[in-house]
Structure 1
Amino acid sequence: MTIGPVLCLDCCRGGDRAARCRHCGSPRLLAHPERDGLTIAHVDCDAFYAAIEKRDDPALRDRPVIIGGGRRGVVSTACYVARTYGVRSAMPMFQALDACPDAVVLRPDMEKYAAVGRQVRAMMQALTPLVEPVSIDEAFLDLRGTERLHGAAPALTLARFARRVEDEIGITVSVGLAPNKFLAKIASDLEKPRGFAVIGRAEAVGFLAPRPVGLLPGIGRAAAARLAGLGVVRIEDLARTDPGRLAAALGRDAARLAGLARGEDPRPVRPERETKSVSAETTFADDLREMAVLRPVLWRLCEKVARRLKRGGFSAGSVTLKLKDASFRLRTRTRSGLAPTQIAERLFRPAEALLAEACDGTAYRLIGIGAGDLGPAELADRGDLAEPGLRRDASRDAAIDAVRARFGDAAIQRGLTFGPAAPVRTGSPSSPGRDRSGTGRP
């Protein structure tokens, strides 16, 4: 197979195949026969939160750094030094500290991280208008038709972008380049950190074949177990399994997953992504089980979600209660069919009923509330003759919001807030598609 032209990822110059770049001496050389014909990229910032903290405090450069809560929280991000000890995102903090007791633990500074994320996003949008954010620190890009604009093939444009992020922002990114989003996402994980990997059309099937079926998005533990019962363990097994047997095991998702197993993914890069839910959650310092203590916490979360619905221009038609017990088992309960609303109390009432059912003596370490079945704000709280108090409730909420916007959230509180004290630790946000406090996207 012809290797194709060589591109240095450090000086962004071309050259001949060699151990090092003949211009700058870097060993980071990229060569692939399809490299200059591929246009779909996935860009992922490396250990984003931790990288920003190391950038801002050089004394942390060689230290294991964990971004997260106290011993009862979870890891939001672990730097690559901490990962060598086995620390991973979403790991309970006590496990992370047992694995890496010398780690420097820092609370998340989401305002700072969001500002850096906006800088990186602006640089992406200077490359192409087709940027699909996945989370605060990653996105898909479609660079078709940008060759004349940048005077370079997409691979070189992306290499220059990665170099610029490193020079101007002080963090690093990894890039995956491929014919579609699925393969680009896989490629961006291959050579982290500071990686740039290519998966071409010709090699896609052979590349995927020996890998476990769990690599395919949508196959979790339960689906993998069902497939294992059919003798389907690797992606090549899935690709050659009878479609009828797959449909029996995977339902409507069978055709999509079979296509992915062949390296096929027709999804376009969409600049605007539909928001599916708005949520907020809290982790407690001590496990809680009493309704009287949990109820005020739930109310405060409903207020927070209601504010986010208003800011986002949404109404909600369902609520989902999320509870995690002391053994990290997750319970979720949903109440659907609600009249579209942005009012905290109208989110709280069905959520309170769900909470009452869940208060069966179980001790909980986390509580969350999500608003789903989103629609436009114009549909919210319209009411009818059967609900004469609806306009009053909406006006009261608007007045409270105005006071808080001027004087702070503590300026005015409902009596319900002053229940028995519950020591809480606000759940730290995690990476775009794993949202812990804000909007959830597909």
Structure 2
Amino acid sequence: MVMHLDMNSYFATVEQQCDPFLRGKPICIAGKGKNERTVCAAASIEAKKFGVKSSTSAWEAKALCPDIILVPPDFEKYQFISRKVFAILEEYSPTIEIFSIDEAFADLSHIKTYTEAAVLAQEIKFRIRNEIGEYLKCSVGLAENKLLAKLASEMQKPDGLTIIKRHHVKDILDKTPIEELCGIGSRLQLRLNSLGIKMVGELGAYSLENLIQLFGPHSGKHLKQMGQGIDSSPIISYRDFPAEKSFGHSYTLPKDISDINEAKKVLLKLSEKVGRRMRKAGVFGKTIHVYLRFFDFTGFGKQASGAYLQNGYDIYQAALKILESNPSKRPIRLIGVSVSNLKNARQVNQVLFLDKQKEEKALNATDKINDHFGEFTIFRSSLVKIKDRIQNIPDGRNKRLM
């Protein structure tokens, strides 16, 4: 048996929990500023009643709900609360898989009946409200596998508890649109719709031979199984997840920029954030990748490999060479930088000269201060002008939050 726990309107309800003034009011989590590209990272339950949802632009949210309150995101706060939620969940299951910052799967194979599992789920929901925050709600799904458990948790929101038993599976899938299945994105949905497949049950009834011919042997078989509610994927504990293969950050600019010096400043801050995360993880990387998206949504991407790096400024220097090799002069909309080809710090056999040793000590001291007082409490002087303009570059979703 599998449980899927999904925190409802997570970022928004965390803010409402922390600030009683926001409770009962429509809010959306969005970056600072009034630029038209600001989008909602999350909408409160009250805002959703007006049609506001994640990815809705801030100006559209205002049009749908003039009284909506825009709240800047605080990702460190959300991760802190997530750890508390998942710590409670871990008390009831030997294996939990953190699927994202606000949802997780739990192995309940030690539970014999759905009745017993439902009692356990209600206890978890109660403890989250009682021990973490009364305004925090979650929906729980119980089923025989991860696919169905996640589908179940989506069926009653907010604060729901849904059980999908095997003898109910076919009836439920016959009434469920394919886009509600985890793993069916918009492009795949359109392709399946073009085949006359709109409901999950129709996917399950579709010819396996035709699916294999259209999508290949692996994907075709997988789609057929999804349509039948079959999922053999195991629950992988966050403790057993493979190490990160890369570290990266990207940032959508408030307005298009053509000035290479402005682009360099953004690239430097992104590189510093990547380096800081790599130091926390204790890894070095040798392949630097830079991606640019232009005003017309075309893009430029290029990577280069060299010595193993961890220092944000060294990453920046390597990334800068790639940025300067961009042949296009079109205005830039988004900048991204990532580091891959990683090795554990102990595996990197580097001989540090005296100046490098001093630099390493300075970086470690800076990291400790920023850990205690907040991101970019201490930063390079070259970031002075850009620091306040780019505050909310999130650390991304990390499956090893605990």
User: Relative to structure 1, is the Cα distance of residues 116 and 422 closer, same or farther in structure 2, using a 3 angstrom cutoff?
Assistant: closer
SS of the residue corresponding to residue 140 of structure 1 reads strand
SS of the residue corresponding to residue 203 of structure 1 reads helix
Is the counterpart of residue 243 in structure 1 residue 208 in structure 2? yes
Query: 1:204 & 1:326 partners in 2: Cα distance?
Result: 46
User: Relative to structure 1, is the Cα distance of residues 238 and 337 closer, same or farther in structure 2, using a 3 angstrom cutoff?
Assistant: farther
> Per-residue deviation at 1:137?
1.8
Tell me the amino acid that sits aligned with residue 224 of structure 2. Answer: A
Question: Is contact 2:8–2:138 with CA below 8 Å preserved after alignment?
Answer: yes
Matches within 5 A, 1:303-342: 303-326=272-295, 329=297, 331=299, 333=301, 335=303, 340-342=308-310
Partner of 2:268: 299
Is the counterpart of residue 400 in structure 1 residue 365 in structure 2? no
> Per-residue deviation at 1:154?
1.7
Is the counterpart of residue 413 in structure 1 residue 374 in structure 2? no
SS of the residue corresponding to residue 92 of structure 2 reads coil
SS of the residue corresponding to residue 153 of structure 1 reads helix
Tell me the amino acid that sits aligned with residue 42 of structure 1. Answer: H
Partner of 2:373: none
208, 216, 221: which one aligns with 2:186:
221
Tell me the amino acid that sits aligned with residue 361 of structure 2. Answer: A
The CA RMSD measured in Å over matched residues stands at 3.2
Query: 2:308 & 2:193 partners in 1: Cα distance?
Result: 43
User: Relative to structure 1, is the Cα distance of residues 57 and 438 closer, same or farther in structure 2, using a 3 angstrom cutoff?
Assistant: closer
User: Relative to structure 1, is the Cα distance of residues 174 and 217 closer, same or farther in structure 2, using a 3 angstrom cutoff?
Assistant: closer
SS of the residue corresponding to residue 83 of structure 2 reads helix
Gaps of 5+ in 1: 1-38, 430-435
137, 142, 149: which one aligns with 2:107:
142
Question: Is contact 1:302–1:348 with CA below 8 Å preserved after alignment?
Answer: yes
SS of the residue corresponding to residue 41 of structure 2 reads strand
Is the counterpart of residue 57 in structure 1 residue 22 in structure 2? no
Tell me the amino acid that sits aligned with residue 94 of structure 2. Answer: P
219, 228, 239: which one aligns with 1:253:
219
Compare CA radii of gyration and give the structure with the larger one.
1
> Per-residue deviation at 1:423?
7.2
> Per-residue deviation at 1:402?
2.8
Question: Is contact 1:276–1:440 with CA below 8 Å preserved after alignment?
Answer: no
Question: Is contact 1:279–1:370 with CA below 8 Å preserved after alignment?
Answer: yes
Query: 1:234 & 1:334 partners in 2: Cα distance?
Result: 40
User: Relative to structure 1, is the Cα distance of residues 304 and 166 closer, same or farther in structure 2, using a 3 angstrom cutoff?
Assistant: same
Partner of 1:41: 3
Partner of 1:107: 72
SS of the residue corresponding to residue 235 of structure 2 reads coil
User: Relative to structure 1, is the Cα distance of residues 323 and 204 closer, same or farther in structure 2, using a 3 angstrom cutoff?
Assistant: farther
SS of the residue corresponding to residue 206 of structure 1 reads helix
> Per-residue deviation at 1:244?
4.1
Is the counterpart of residue 127 in structure 1 residue 92 in structure 2? yes
Tell me the amino acid that sits aligned with residue 176 of structure 1. Answer: G
> Per-residue deviation at 1:270?
1.3
Summarize deviations over 1:122-174 as a string: whole Å, max 9, x none: 111111121111222211111221569xxx82221111111221233211111
Question: Is contact 1:285–1:423 with CA below 8 Å preserved after alignment?
Answer: no
Question: Is contact 1:213–1:235 with CA below 8 Å preserved after alignment?
Answer: yes
Q: How many residues align?
A: 385
> Per-residue deviation at 1:192?
0.6
Query: 1:161 & 1:420 partners in 2: Cα distance?
Result: 46
Query: 1:104 & 1:256 partners in 2: Cα distance?
Result: 43
228, 252, 259: which one aligns with 1:262:
228
Q: TM-score, normalising length from structure 2?
A: 0.83
Partner of 1:277: 246
Partner of 1:76: 41
Question: Is contact 1:317–1:371 with CA below 8 Å preserved after alignment?
Answer: yes
Query: 1:89 & 1:45 partners in 2: Cα distance?
Result: 14
> Per-residue deviation at 1:264?
0.9
Q: TM-score, normalising length from structure 1?
A: 0.76
123, 131, 143: which one aligns with 1:178:
143
Summarize deviations over 1:186-226 as a string: whole Å, max 9, x none: 11111110111111222223322343333344433333343
Partner of 1:3: none
User: Relative to structure 1, is the Cα distance of residues 322 and 424 closer, same or farther in structure 2, using a 3 angstrom cutoff?
Assistant: farther
314, 319, 328: which one aligns with 1:360:
328
Query: 2:223 & 2:298 partners in 1: Cα distance?
Result: 27
SS of the residue corresponding to residue 253 of structure 1 reads helix
SS of the residue corresponding to residue 316 of structure 1 reads strand
Query: 2:162 & 2:399 partners in 1: Cα distance?
Result: 29
Summarize deviations over 1:338-381 as a string: whole Å, max 9, x none: 6654243553355334433557233334323233344433344x
Query: 1:212 & 1:189 partners in 2: Cα distance?
Result: 12
User: Relative to structure 1, is the Cα distance of residues 79 and 233 closer, same or farther in structure 2, using a 3 angstrom cutoff?
Assistant: same
Tell me the amino acid that sits aligned with residue 267 of structure 1. Answer: S
Tell me the amino acid that sits aligned with residue 157 of structure 2. Answer: K
Matches within 5 A, 1:91-106: 91-106=56-71
Partner of 1:166: 129
Query: 1:226 & 1:391 partners in 2: Cα distance?
Result: 57
Question: Is contact 2:73–2:392 with CA below 8 Å preserved after alignment?
Answer: no
Question: Is contact 1:67–1:107 with CA below 8 Å preserved after alignment?
Answer: yes
Query: 2:160 & 2:294 partners in 1: Cα distance?
Result: 38
Query: 2:237 & 2:131 partners in 1: Cα distance?
Result: 25
